[in-house]
Structure 1
Amino acid sequence: MDWAEFFNNPASEWISIAISLLIMIAYEIYLVFVGSAAPYRIAQRTHARMRATWVRKIMARPGTEVVIVQTLRNSLMAASFMASTSMLALIGMLTLSGLGDNTGHWNFASLTELATRLLDMKLILLALVFFASFFFNTMAVRFYTHAGYMISIGVGTDDPWRRSVAIAYLNRAGFQYSIGVRAFFFSFPIMVSLFNTWLMMPTTVFLVFLLYQFDRIPFVSPDARVDVNPKGYRGTDPEQDSTEGLDA
């Protein structure tokens, strides 16, 4: 087999793109399984429980409305910044690439025609990633806003239903913000593939390695009230063990 011919063959370059996508999907599936078996080893699950605890504490203390506004404002600003950045990146990419001007000349009825337009398909994938980042960050802003209203009107009241809905909305906002940020990060391997498609795989592996460093909880303080072990977790705080709002 002539490896030089293989690596320079446009058809074989789809292998690199497919493997890169599978790597990202496999990593997200891994996080789901590990998060279900050992929630306190995954940052997303830990953050969700911290948000739930924050809502319960803040709604039980009258006069904390200002703290609620300030805390949620920071989250709103972060999600708004990511949404704006994603849309600007999408507009800039479409403008510089001229992708929108060329779509009228495509023959979508021919799979062969699409297979030969490798560069254009990469740009389409990049546009979809930027749009996904914009969409999920915008939805995060929406749910953060609704959660702010629910938490504020429930301060000082003992309403389990309202508290549960507020936790669910806040955790859903955090989850969508996480997806939006990850989609934006995945644009980097795609941009690298514009120079060389085979560089997409090692770049994706490097991205997954970086994400893994931030997604795991490697250390628990000795005075923590939670015992983390390789087989799962064992909590000693009934309030922390609550899974309220984590299914959002």
Structure 2
Amino acid sequence: MESAAYHRPMLMNSLLAWSLAAFSLLLLVAYEGRLYWIGRHHPERTARYANVRLRMKWVTAMSSQPGFEVVAVQALRNTLMSATISASTAALAVMGSVTLAGGSLAGKFTVGAPDEQLHAVLQAMLVMTLFASYVCSAMAMRHYGHASFIMSMPVSSPERVTFTPAAVTHVHRAGLLYSWGLRLFLMAAPLVAGIVHPAAMPVVTVLLLVALHFFDQPALLDVE
């Protein structure tokens, strides 16, 4: 009887911790789902659409001005360096997370208490999120590199005219992947908070969503 009374508060605390973590993840999913819906039906209200349009017009403008090849490549090199920094930071964070938690994850998943299992789940999600951030940033580097080769061709050359649509695609994909790499890296914050204490996870999630709300607002609403 005493043992059951002792374990009951522990079970309730575990259920509360799992509920807080699930609620935080649902908030993130709901926000991204709403943003996806807005992007499908009202794309002009999202920064993603405005930035895509800007990048496409930039490639078109640079492809019609002879003598600006070096300027275009330098601009792409700057964005390439930004993606490189993001990828390197995410890779270091992945290695640090695996070093700190990798050896104990398997044991916590199988024989750990509910609290330890939640801790292991959040650690595993943190590693996967950081790795996904690295992959997105690395792929953005790849597309920026391909775009640099095309944008360095002389504007008057027939090869440049042939490959300009490919440059538009590469720059478009690179921008989206870089954005997702940064976004996933920011989403690691609630997971870190949940690992420290489950009660902190919803608070950090709400703060992150507020930041993402301003992050997703288009800067140019009246530009056609």
TM range (shorter): 0.7 to 0.9
TM, length-normalised to structure 1: 0.77
Check the 8 A contact 1:107/1:114 in 2, yes or no.
no
Is the partner of 1:168 in helix, strand or coil? helix
Trace 1:14-163 onto structure 2 (pairs within 5 A).
Answer: 14-95=18-99, 97=100, 99-103=101-105, 105=107, 116-153=116-153, 155-157=155-157, 162-163=163-164
Q: Deviations over 1:150-197 (max 9, x none)?
A: 233362357766222211111111111111101110111111112221
Deviates more, 1:67-76 or 1:86-95: 86-95
What is the letter of the counterpart of residue 156 of structure 2? G
Instruction: Measure how far apart 1:148 and its partner are.
Output: 1.4
Task: Specify whether residues 192 and 116 from structure 1 end up closer, same or farther in structure 2 by C-alpha distance, changes over 3 A only.
Answer: closer
SS at match of 1:194: helix
Query: Aligned partners of 1:29 and 1:101: how far apart in 2?
Result: 35
Counterpart residue identity of residue 123, structure 1 = Q
Q: Per-residue deviation at 1:60?
A: 1.2
Deviations 1:26-52 (A, max 9, x none): 212222222233323211110100000
- Alignment partners' CA distance in 1, 2:32 and 2:64: 35
CA deviation profile, 1:73-99 (whole Å, cap 9, x unmatched): 11111100011011111212222x2x2
Structure 2 counterpart of 1:19, one-letter code: F
**Pair 1:42–1:192, CA change in 2 (3 A):** same
- For the residues of structure 2 that align with 1:36 and 1:91, how far apart are their CA atoms? 36
Name the CA shift for 1:52/1:119 in 2 (closer, same or farther; >3 Å). Answer: same
- Larger helix share, 1 or 2: 2
Query: What is the RMSD computed on CA atoms of the aligned residues?
Result: 2.7
* Superposition deviation, residue 126 in structure 1: 1.0
Cα contact 2:132–2:181 (8 A) shared by 1: yes
Equivalents in 2 of 1:155, 1:90: separation in Å? 42
In the aligned structure 2, how far is the partner of 1:114 from the partner of 1:87?
30
- How many equivalent residue pairs? 216
Distance in 1, Cα, partners of 2:81 & 2:220: 29
Q: Is the 8 A contact 1:35 1:45 kept in 2?
A: yes
State the SS of the aligned residue for 1:9.
helix
The 5-angstrom pairing of residues 145-224 of structure 1 reads 145-153=145-153, 155-157=155-157, 162-217=163-218, 220=221, 224=222
Contact 1:65-1:155 at 8 Å conserved across structures = yes
Moved more, 62-71 or 72-81: 62-71
Output the amino acid matched with 1:63. Answer: G
Q: Unmatched 5+ residue regions in structure 1?
A: 227-248
| TM value normalised by structure 2 | 0.85
Structure 1 Cα separation of the partners of residues 215 and 15 of structure 2: 35
Which whole-Å deviations, capped at 9, do the CAs of 1:196-243 have from their partners, x for residues lacking one? 2122112111101111112113764xxx554xxxxxxxxxxxxxxxxx
Distance 1:35 1:179 in 2: 15
Q: Is the contact between residue 41 and residue 218 of structure 1 (CA under 8 Å) also seen in structure 2?
A: no
Measure, in 2, the Cα distance between the counterparts of 1:19 and 1:7: 18
Report sequence identity in percent. Answer: 32
CA–CA distance in structure 1, aligned partners of residues 12 and 155 of structure 2 = 63
| One-letter amino acid matched to 2:118 | L
